Amino acid sequence: MKLNLGCGNDYREGFVNLDRGNCSADVNHDLNVVPYPFDDNEFSYILAYQVLEHVDRSKWLDIVRELHRISKPNAIWEVLAPYALSDNFFTDPTHGMPFTPRTFDFFDKTKALSENGAIYGIDFELRVLEAQLAENLPNGPDVYFKILVIKDGGGGDIDTGTQSAIACTRQRVKKKETGMIEPLKSVVREIPMLYRGVRKVKRYFGCGAREIKR
């Protein structure tokens, strides 16, 4: 089975479409409320297309744990969400959970941040297959993730239906070319250094001046 999480009016045939409120959905449920109305190991593919940024940030770990619970071993998640530093993230007042390409690293034992994840009580595992910026003009970028669910009983191949769903989603997500991503990464890396380098700021008011020390 395939789950279209937070479908809104993007109703997809062949999926269980879940959302709340006045929208096209098979299941009406608030994503911030766990557990979800599904059995363990029910879905081989979960699509979260511009939805997870709307969840309550304080409930993020519980939500990811719940998605893991309802996923089959080797299930694939595809997630698209606004990049934390983009205009798109800050413009919408309902956005609560920011995303960067490292957001899911806490759940992946092959990543350095998984050590922090263990401290936070993360007791389940995901594997980040892809995590990169994706173009969304004029106020993007977004972040695109492809996630593999690690569970006991896994080890098989991704099923044909899931492969087809992934191919369909890729057609809708236009990824940034490397040459466009690197300049942005460079700017982001420079911000902390620029901030630390500014020790004094002078403001002039008429004939006088005030010096502000950090």
Structure tokens at 99: 């995303």
pLDDT at res. 164: 55
pTM summary value: 0.74
Confidence at 116, pLDDT banded by 50, 70, 90: very high
pLDDT digits (tens, 9 = 90+) for 35-62: 999 999 999 999 999 999 999 999 999 9
Answer whether residue 34 shows pLDDT above 50. Answer: yes
pLDDT at res. 166: 52
Eight-class DSSP state of 124: S
Whether omega before 35 lies within 30 degrees of 0, making that bond cis, reads yes
Identify whether the C-beta of residue 34 lies closer than 8 Å to the C-beta of residue 46: no
**Longest Cα pair distance anywhere in the chain, in angstroms?**
75
In CATH terms, the superfamily for domain 2-176 is: Vaccinia Virus protein VP39 (3.40.50.150)
User: Residue 35: enclosing H or E segment and its boundaries?
Assistant: none
pLDDT at res. 139: 86
Q: How far is CA 204 from CA 162, 208, 211, 212, in A?
A: 62, 6, 9, 11
Task: Report the percentage of the chain scoring pLDDT > 90.
Answer: 66
What mean pLDDT is reported for the chain? 82
pLDDT at res. 194: 39
CA nearest to 68, candidates 105, 98, 32, 38: 38
Answer whether residue 151 shows pLDDT above 80. Answer: yes
d(CA 34, CA 44): 20
pLDDT digits (tens, 9 = 90+) for 63-112: 999 999 999 999 999 999 999 999 999 999 999 999 999 999 999 999 99
Answer whether residue 122 shows pLDDT above 60. Answer: yes
Mean pLDDT for the stretch of residues 136-144: 92
Pair type for strands 71-82 and 43-49: parallel
Strands (E), the chain: 2-5, 16-19, 27-28, 43-49, 71-82, 125-134, 142-150, 200-205, 208-213
Q: How far is CA 135 from the centre of its chain?
A: 15
pLDDT at res. 152: 87
Mean pLDDT for the stretch of residues 117-144: 95
Structure tokens at 92: 């919408």
Answer whether residue 117 shows pLDDT above 70. Answer: yes
* 24 vs 155, residue with greater confidence: 24
d(CA 105, CA 67): 16
